[in-house]
């Protein structure tokens, strides 16, 4: 804020307040009444004048207080000559150690430590150094110091973690972490320089200015053994007693090797399988392990692959398999023997989660059992009578969910029961040309994984009109909604505007139908929000998966939430590999955490790319050039901008104290004679 | 002149006369009664002062005498009516002049000078009523606020005490107007007790009181001062405001400690000298001291002038 700013000048008007108050105070001088002053004589020293002078000092203090306050808000800055630890020839060596997961490869990290020691050894007496580690985030280990011994002590205690490095994010973080200094920065980045760590935009990797100072970058690349890196990339349960393991070959050549796979289920060794695995360059091969016995509920799957390669830590993978019995879902139908019932039952029973479909005639349905089911299916919403519609609406309002299809009986209605959407009357026929899907909201969880909606042949639809509260997920060419969702209270109403019959559409015979039904089931039963397999440094959303008001335990069994956080925490950073346990009133839920697969890819940045990067940094800095590894400063020393608002605050405190003491003394003085 | 002195209030038989104790009594008549009765009780132990009425002789009852004074014992023996005559009986009257100027409201201790003056005036009125003196009162500042001519009618004491009781300290002091009017209204000779702090020039006092003496009035001046007026003690320079004029003046503690008491003493001496000059008795009263000194002085004065 400028000193001529209207706000500053307005603040200065506050000075009028103490002046006005002191003017009143002068008039209100304390007097002591006496019977007669006929024998008294005027004092040589006019006490009330002196008192006024004292009050003027008090007034001056108060004016000064306001002045300081207003001035502090302007954040005044003084420019002073640079001084202190940093001299004109000082170079600030910013040593950044890559501690990401890939640095666990072979002796990469030992090489990095040696490289850092070498940098420290070349420091001149005027130089200073600071140490940072970069992985999933950047942390300061040692702030700027002229004592290399402190950096060496820290270096010896460092070790790589399981995070993933993003160089672009690292550069951005350094700008805020590196403390202000007048020295010339040289960033020594010691890393394996994986290609996967490279920022999406090359410009993000250019630290042109840090804290207003030009920057130079020195690249220190550790050597990686040129051996293929095998990685366990996935673990899936593909059958009742069958597990499929994905093995990735992170090298530029096809590889074939004999590997032994050991599977632990709930910490018990179940299967050991040795076989020759052949994987193309950068490809994946799947290994199937049979006769696996799972327990009910969540199962901890821990598979490892031997012999290990140079990056042994990605030869192990964690997974979670929910072996809970199939969740029951009720299918209400006016015609239980119809083909539609068969399509729905089959699709749901083959879904990964597995659902047990209970078929019921809608005319014999007792609504009182609705509470047993998290969601239900109605094969023709038009067959719902008025009484049942009311019960269903209460059910949805309380948190239930309905997947409804619209068929012949719906066409006879004026509004869609439960949903309330208008039906414009009659069936929409398209005898000559089928309706085509015009728009698909693929961001919706139900449609995120299914493709091929545009290839559907739809010949009949119920002319439903979407209301204001409806979210149309799929619309047809004539703007008739094909799939819409309505939120009613705490629940959802999903309407698929077709009958599962070949006369209506070919949806039930399309492959996407099974996927759609599985996703719809996950969505409507609220299971979709819990991802059982996460990568390191991702966040576990507690509020969304019902984990709130519970406790989260890390892979070592430590509690992660304080008592207050058990009801308030919205997410947890998963910064370790292994199994996190979320303990809630509804039972325990496991989440498996594995390293980011990109860290297993040991393909490195091209030497030319590294050179270009270094050159671009040097060019953007402009003022620094590297000559034989030593930075030469050609930057004019600029005066340091010293903010004085802190000093003003101290002055404010002193003024307030003085004002209080002086004011208190005046109060005591006014008592007059004793 | 009666010198000021300290009295051990706790051990003195006149403890009830202590102004601090009296101020706890809300009724001025009760105060007067307490003061006088306590004072009389003390007198019985004194060989010097005899207050009880001393029998002198009988004389035959004549028409116009108060029948209450007939000695019925003599009548029963002789069938003749005789009146008992006592030595202490006089036909004098007492006029109480109470200054109620604003300065009389000053008081650093328990009571103000005005309150002390009220106690004194009421006590004198009560004492006089016991001696069947006619009593009257005038309350004044620079004007006459209340005036009651002297009379011995029954109920006079109550009315005088009521008149005194409602007096308030306001306005300044000017003796000229009130005393001129007083002389116009009171022609009969008697005792005149002037109760004031006398913040006036001695010349003015003499000019206004002298005519009373010249007209045969026996005058006694009760000069009341608060201890805080005689030797005020301040630690720092203080701005004093005159209670009568509102004028303010700053004085130093050195002046108040060294010069001011001397000036007050000089003023007291000049008032006393003026009193002597007009053949009036003068009593200086410290408002922190008991009232018995004033009553002693009054009795001495009365006996001397009777």
Tell me whether A223 touches chain B (CB under 8 Å): no
CA atoms in the 13 A half-sphere facing the CB of A153: 6
State chain A's mean pLDDT as an integer.
80
Distance from CA of A669 to the nearest CA of B (A): 8
* pLDDT range class, residue A216, cuts 50, 70, 90: confident
Q: Chain B residues with CB inside 8 Å of A44's CB?
A: 252
Are the CB atoms for A495 and A484 separated by under 8 Å? yes
The percentage of residues in chain B with a pLDDT greater than 70, rounded to a whole number, is 83
Cβ separation of B240 and A32 shorter than 8 Å? yes
Most confident of A52-66, A123-137, A169-183, B25-39: A123-137
CB atoms within 10 A of CB B255: 18
Cβ-based contacts of A40 with chain B (< 8 Å): 240, 249, 251, 255-256, 260
Backbone angles phi, psi at A620, to 5 degrees: -70, -35
A670 contact B CB<8A: no
Helices (H) and strands (E) in chain A, counts: 13, 36
Would you tell me the crossing angle of helices B28-43 and B292-305 to the nearest 10 degrees? 70
Q: Report the greatest alpha carbon distance in chain B.
A: 81
With beta carbons under 8 A apart, name residues in chain A contacting B105.
35
**Contact A521/A547 with Cβ under 8 angstroms?**
no
Which residues are registered as beta bridge partners of A279? A255
| pLDDT at residue A647 in the model | 83
Q: What are phi and psi of A96, to 5 degrees?
A: -115, 115
Q: How far is CA A569 from the centre of its chain?
A: 13
Q: Measured between beta carbons, which residues in chain B are less than 8 angstroms from residue A38?
A: 199, 242
Q: Helix B113-130 crosses helix B28-43 at what angle (to 10 degrees)?
A: 60
- Residue A6 has what DSSP assignment? H
CA distance A611 to B111: 102
**B231 to chain A, minimum CA–CA distance in Å?**
12
Written as one string, the DSSP assignment of B192-208 is EEEEE---S-HHHHHHH
Q: How does DSSP assign A76-140, residue by residue?
A: -EEEE---TT--TT-EEEEEEEE-SGGGGSTTHHHHHHHHHHHHHHT--TT-EEEEEEESSSEEE
pLDDT at A521: 87
Contact A33 B199 (CB under 8 A): no
How many C-beta atoms lie closer than 10 Å to residue A662's C-beta? 16
Q: How many angstroms separate the CA of residue B94 from the nearest CA in chain A?
A: 28
**3-class DSSP assignment, residue A674:** coil
The Cα–Cα gap between B124 and B129 comes to 8
Rounded to 10°, the helix B113-130/B156-165 angle is: 180
In this complex, the residue of A35, A43, A47 whose CB is nearest that of residue B243 is A35
Contact B232 A44 (CB under 8 A): no
Q: Which member of A31, A672, A673 has the closest CB to residue B248?
A: A31
A121 touches B: beta carbon within 8 Å: no
A41 vs B contacts (CB less than 8 Å): 249, 251, 255, 259
Distance CA A395, CA A401 (A): 8
Beta bridge partner(s), residue A261: A273, A305
Ramachandran bin of A546, using left for φ above 0, alpha for ψ from -120 to 50, beta for the remaining angles = left
Whether A585 shows a pLDDT value over 70: the answer reads no
> Which residues make Cβ contacts (< 8 Å) with residue A643, sequence separation at least 6?
A75, A76, A77
B133 close to B94: Cβ distance less than 8 angstroms: yes
pLDDT of residue B258: 85
pLDDT higher than 70, residue A154: yes
Taking contacts as CB-CB distances below 8 angstroms, the residues of chain A near B199 are 35-36, 38
Place of tokens 């009315």: B159
Taking the Cβ of residue A28 and every Cβ of chain B, the question of whether any pair is shorter than 8 Å is answered with no
CA–CA min distance A36, chain B (Å): 5
Whole-angstrom CA distances from A636 to A96, A98, A263 are 27, 33, 64
Q: Minimal Cα distance from B197: which residue of A?
A: A35
Q: Nearest chain A residue to B242 by CA: give it.
A: A36
Interface membership of A671 toward B (CB under 8 Å) = no
* Preferred mutation among A29, A36, A38, A671 to probe B, highest tally of B CBs within 10 A: A36
The pLDDT value recorded for residue A671 is 42
Enter the ipTM: 0.78
**Which residues in A lie closer than 8 A to residue B229 (C-beta atoms)?**
34-35
Lowest mean pLDDT among A403-412, A515-524, B50-59, B133-142: B50-59
CB contact under 8 A, B234 and A672: yes
Contacting residues of A for B246, CB less than 8 Å apart:
none
- Taking an 8 Å cut-off on Cβ atoms, the answer to whether B242 and A36 are in contact is yes
Nearest CA in chain B to A45: B252
State the Cα–Cα distance between residues A303 and A315, nearest whole angstrom.
Answer: 8
The answer to whether residue A199 scores a pLDDT higher than 80 is yes
* List of chain B residues with pLDDT < 70: 1-17, 20-21, 23-26, 41-56, 86-91, 305-306
pLDDT in the model for residue B213 = 85
% chain A with pLDDT above 90: 14
Place of tokens 């989660």: A353
Write out residues 36-95 of A within 8 Å (CB-CB) of B: 36-48, 50
Parallel, antiparallel or unpaired: strands A481-488 and A470-476: antiparallel
SS3 of A40, please? coil
Q: What digits encode the pLDDT tens for the residues A645-673?
A: 778 888 888 988 888 888 777 766 444 44
Contact B239 A40 (CB under 8 A): no
Q: What is the pLDDT of residues A353-383, one digit of tens each?
A: 778 888 889 988 888 888 788 889 998 998 8
Of residues A29, A37, A46, nearest to B240 (C-beta): A37
Inter-residue contact A580 to A554 (CB < 8 Å) = yes
Q: Does any CB of chain B come closer than 8 Å to the CB of residue A558? A: no
- Kindly state the average pLDDT of the residues A235-242: 81
| Tokens at A22, concatenated | 């002191």
CB atoms within 10 A of CB A10: 10
Please give the average per-residue pLDDT across A126-135, as a whole number. Answer: 89
For residue B228, what is the nearest residue in chain A, using CA coordinates? A34
């Amino acid at each position: 804020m400028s000193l001529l700013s209207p706000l500053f000048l307005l603040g200065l008007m506050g000075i009028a307040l103490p002046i006005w108050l002191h003017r009143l105070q002068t008039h209100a001088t304390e007097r002591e009444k006496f019977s007669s002053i006929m024998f008294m004589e005027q004092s040589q020293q006019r006490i009330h004048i002196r008192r006024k002078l004292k009050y003027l000092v008090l007034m001056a203090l108060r004016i000064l207080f306001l002045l300081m306050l207003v001035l502090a808000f302007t954040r005044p800055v003084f420019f002073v000559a640079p001084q202190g630890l940093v001299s004109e020839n000082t170079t600030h060596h910013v040593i950044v150690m890559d501690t990401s997961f890939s640095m666990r490869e072979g002796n990469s990290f030992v090489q990095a430590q040696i490289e850092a020691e070498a940098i420290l050894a070349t420091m001149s007496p005027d130089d200073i150094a600071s140490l940072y580690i970069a992985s999933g985030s950047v942390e300061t280990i040692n702030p700027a110091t002229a004592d290399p011994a402190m950096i060496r002590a820290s270096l010896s205690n460092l070790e790589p973690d399981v995070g993933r490095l993003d160089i672009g994010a690292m550069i951005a973080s350094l700008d805020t972490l590196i403390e202000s200094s007048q020295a010339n920065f040289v960033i020594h980045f010691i890393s394996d320089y994986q290609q996967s760590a490279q920022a999406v935009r090359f410009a993000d990797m250019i630290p042109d200015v840090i804290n207003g100072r030009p920057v130079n970058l020195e690249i220190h690349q550790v050597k990686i053994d040129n051996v293929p890196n095998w990685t366990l990339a996935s673990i899936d349960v593909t059958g009742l007693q069958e597990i499929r393991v994905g093995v990735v070959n992170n090298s530029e050549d096809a590889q074939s090797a004999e590997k032994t796979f050991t599977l632990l289920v709930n910490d018990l060794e179940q299967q050991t399988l040795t076989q020759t695995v052949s994987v193309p360059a950068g490809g994946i091969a799947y290994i199937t392990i049979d006769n696996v016995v799972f327990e009910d509920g969540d199962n901890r799957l821990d598979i490892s692959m031997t012999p290990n390669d140079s990056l042994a830590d990605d030869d192990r993978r964690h997974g979670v398999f929910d072996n809970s019995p199939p969740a029951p879902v009720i299918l209400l139908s006016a015609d239980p023997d119809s083909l539609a019932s068969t399509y729905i039952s089959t699709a749901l029973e083959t879904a990964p989660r597995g659902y047990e479909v209970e078929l019921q005639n809608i005319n014999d349905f007792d609504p009182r059992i609705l509470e047993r089911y998290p969601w239900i299916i109605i094969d023709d919403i038009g067959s719902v009578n008025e009484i049942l519609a009311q019960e269903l609406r209460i059910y949805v309002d309380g948190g239930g969910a309905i997947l409804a299809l619209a068929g012949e009986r719906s066409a006879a209605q004026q509004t869609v029961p439960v949903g309330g959407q208008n039906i414009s009357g009659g069936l929409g026929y398209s005898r000559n040309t089928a309706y085509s899907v015009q728009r698909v909201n693929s961001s919706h969880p139900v449609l995120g994984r299914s493709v091929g909606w545009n290839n559907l042949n739809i010949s009949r639809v119920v002319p439903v009109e979407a209301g204001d509260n409806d979210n149309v997920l799929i619309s047809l060419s004539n703007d008739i909604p094909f799939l819409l969702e309505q939120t009613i209270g705490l629940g959802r109403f999903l309407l698929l505007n077709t009958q599962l019959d070949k006369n209506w559409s070919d949806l039930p015979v399309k492959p996407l139908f099974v996927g759609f039904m599985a996703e719809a089931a996950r969505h409507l039963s609220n299971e979709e929000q819990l991802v059982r397999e996460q990568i390191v440094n991702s966040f576990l959303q507690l509020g969304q998966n019902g984990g709130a008001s519970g406790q989260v335990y890390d892979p070592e069994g430590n509690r992660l939430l304080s008592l207050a956080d058990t009801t308030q925490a919205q997410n947890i950073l998963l910064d370790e590999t292994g199994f996190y346990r979320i303990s809630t009133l509804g039972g325990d839920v496991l989440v498996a955490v594995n390293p980011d697969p990109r860290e297993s890819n040991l393909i490195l940045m091209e030497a030319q790319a590294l050179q270009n990067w270094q050159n671009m940094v040097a060019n953007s800095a402009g003022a620094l050039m590297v000559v034989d590894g030593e930075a030469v400063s050609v930057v004019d020393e600029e005066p340091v901008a010293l903010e004085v608002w802190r000093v003003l605050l101290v002055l404010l405190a002193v003024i307030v104290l003085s004002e209080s003491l002086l004011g208190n003394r005046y109060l005591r003085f006014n008592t007059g004679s004793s | 002149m009666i010198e000021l002195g300290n009295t051990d209030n706790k051990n003195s038989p006149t403890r009830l006369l202590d102004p601090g104790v009296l101020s706890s009594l809300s009724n001025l008549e009760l105060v007067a009664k307490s003061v006088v009765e306590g004072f009389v009780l003390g007198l019985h132990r004194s060989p010097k002062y005899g207050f009880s009425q001393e029998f002198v002789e009988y004389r035959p009852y004549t028409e116009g005498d108060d029948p209450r004074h007939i000695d019925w014992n003599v009548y029963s023996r002789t069938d003749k009516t005789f009146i008992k005559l006592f030595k202490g009986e006089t036909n004098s009257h007492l006029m109480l002049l109470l200054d109620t100027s604003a300065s009389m409201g000053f008081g650093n201790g328990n009571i103000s000078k005005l309150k002390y003056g009220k106690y004194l005036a009421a006590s004198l009125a009560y004492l006089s009523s016991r001696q069947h003196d006619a009593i009257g009162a005038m309350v004044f500042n620079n004007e006459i606020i209340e005036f009651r001519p002297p009379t011995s009618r029954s109920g006079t004491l109550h009315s005088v005490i009521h008149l005194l009781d409602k007096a308030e300290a306001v306005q300044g002091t000017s003796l000229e107007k009130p005393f001129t009017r007083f002389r116009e209204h009171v022609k009969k000779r008697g005792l005149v007790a002037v109760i004031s702090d006398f913040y006036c020039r001695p010349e003015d006092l003499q000019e206004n009181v002298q005519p009373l003496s010249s007209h045969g009035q026996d005058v006694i001046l009760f000069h009341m001062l608060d201890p805080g007026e005689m030797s005020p003690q301040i630690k720092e320079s203080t701005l004093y405001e005159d209670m009568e004029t509102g004028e303010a003046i700053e004085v130093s503690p050195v002046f108040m400690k060294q010069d001011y008491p001397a000036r007050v003493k000089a003023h007291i001496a000049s008032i006393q000298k003026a009193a002597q000059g007009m053949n009036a008795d003068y009593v200086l009263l410290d408002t922190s001291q008991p009232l018995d000194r004033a009553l002693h002085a009054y009795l001495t004065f009365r006996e001397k002038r009777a």
